[in-house]
Amino acid sequence: MYLSEMGQRGCDSQGCGYYGASRGSRKHVGVDLTASDNTSLPVGTNVQCGFSGEVVKVGLAYSQPEKQHLRYVAIKLEKYYVRVFYIEPKVSVGDIITADTVIGKSLCLGDFYKNITEHVHFEVYTLKDHSKGVHNRRNFQYTNPNVVLEILRNS
């Protein structure tokens, strides 16, 4: 399923999935994407980005040992970087992906977050300072990912 075909997670017992939603002392820097009808994304769903780029990182979403299977894929586009979280990666660093490439399969979050709507997390950012590298979150300037999703939906 393409990111642009997915719905957006509303609010559930674990919080809200929209860009800028409260996360305690911080803001949600991405959007949580669900099945197209805004229900839980079925675990094991093939995830396709809908754009071309280069995989620059496959990382851990969390440092806790019990959550280390929850991964993300970072992709460099022409102008932006994107990260897609809570997937089982099917790509590796250095891979050149196309719009149709399956980058991973969605994973189960319900084992860790009671009554959460199953989803993948999608974020878009640029680098504040290119000399500080692409893996330092303090160097990220986040952009509302709905802008990119809307472009994909209209292309």
Q: Tens digits of per-residue pLDDT, 105-116?
A: 999 998 889 999
Angle at 139 between CA 119 and CA 146, to 5 degrees: 35
Q: What is the mean pLDDT of the chain?
A: 92
Q: Give me the domain span that covers residue 129.
A: 3-153
Helices (H), the chain: 145-153
**What is the distance, to the nearest Å, from the Cα of residue 47 to the centroid of all Cα atoms in its chain?**
10
| CATH, residue 21 | 2.70.70.10
Q: Give pLDDT, residue 118.
A: 95
Q: Give pLDDT, residue 5.
A: 94
Using CA atoms, how far apart are residues 73 and 56, in angstroms rounded to an integer?
8
Question: Does the pLDDT value for residue 58 go beyond 90?
Answer: yes
Q: Give pLDDT, residue 81.
A: 94
Looking at the structure of the chain, the number of domains it has is 1
Angle at 77 between CA 142 and CA 96, to 5 degrees: 140
Q: Give pLDDT, residue 137.
A: 80
